[in-house]
Every structure is written in C-alpha cells, then in structure tokens.
Amino acid sequence: LGIEVGDFISFDPRTVVTDTGFIKSRHLDDKVSAAILLNLLRIYKKEKIELPVTTHFAFSVFEEVGHGANSNIPAQVVEYLAVDMGAMGDDQQTDEYTVSICVKDASGPYHYDFRQHLVALAK
C-alpha cells in the first residue's frame, strides 16, 4: 500500500445523519466529545455566561501515545473531568440515549464524591 510509519491516513467514515437526529459514523469517539465541549464554549461566549470557578478546557492529540491531558494539568486544578467516548462492554447498561459515567479504570477507582456529584447532575 505504500503506507509508512508516521503517514497520515484517513478512511471514509461513512457518516449518516438519521431522520431521528442520530449521527452514525466511524471514528466518532473523541471528535464528538470535542464538539460538545466546543459548543459549550460557544454558548458560554454567546450568552456571556461566567463560570463560578476557573475552568480549563484541554484538547489533546497525544492520548494514544500516553501524553493525554493528564500530562499537563495546572497545579491549582482541584477537580478534573475527562469527556471521552462511552465505555462499552458486556456488563455495561448504556444505550444511545444515556450518559456513561465511569467509576474506575485500570489505575483504580475515581474520586467517589465527584462521581456522585456527576451522577446527581445527570439525573
């Protein structure tokens, strides 16, 4: 194929917007999360919404090589929320209408109180 290490490649995502408003496509994972965050920023600016705390929005292009947003969190950050693709698996109770809130990953459980706060907000 002539593809070398470091070459940029792209496959046709076969994007379809359904009559019910769903977007079906390959390669959506972090792009959808970024679109959501960028839309929030647009709304905050348009509506002149001032957040009650200092908030950093970070977008990393190095996640797959271990240099994600965790690699440069400012020292004063108290809470950290990663907006990412939904977790998939046999034991998951998620669907296309709900939000997934992960409670742990390979490094261990996430902050319990913060997670409970997110669950309450989602409800």
CA distance 18 to 104: 33
Is there a catalytic annotation at residue 63? yes
Among candidate residues 4, 63, 64, 79, the one labeled active-site is: 63
Report which of 42, 45, 122, 48 is spatially closest to residue 81, judged by C-alpha positions.
Answer: 122
User: Cβ distance 60 to 70 under 8 Å?
Assistant: no
CB pairs under 8 A, 24+ apart, for 83-90? 83/33, 83/36, 83/37, 84/29, 84/30, 84/33, 85/28, 85/29, 85/30, 85/32, 85/33
Active site (catalytic) residues:
63
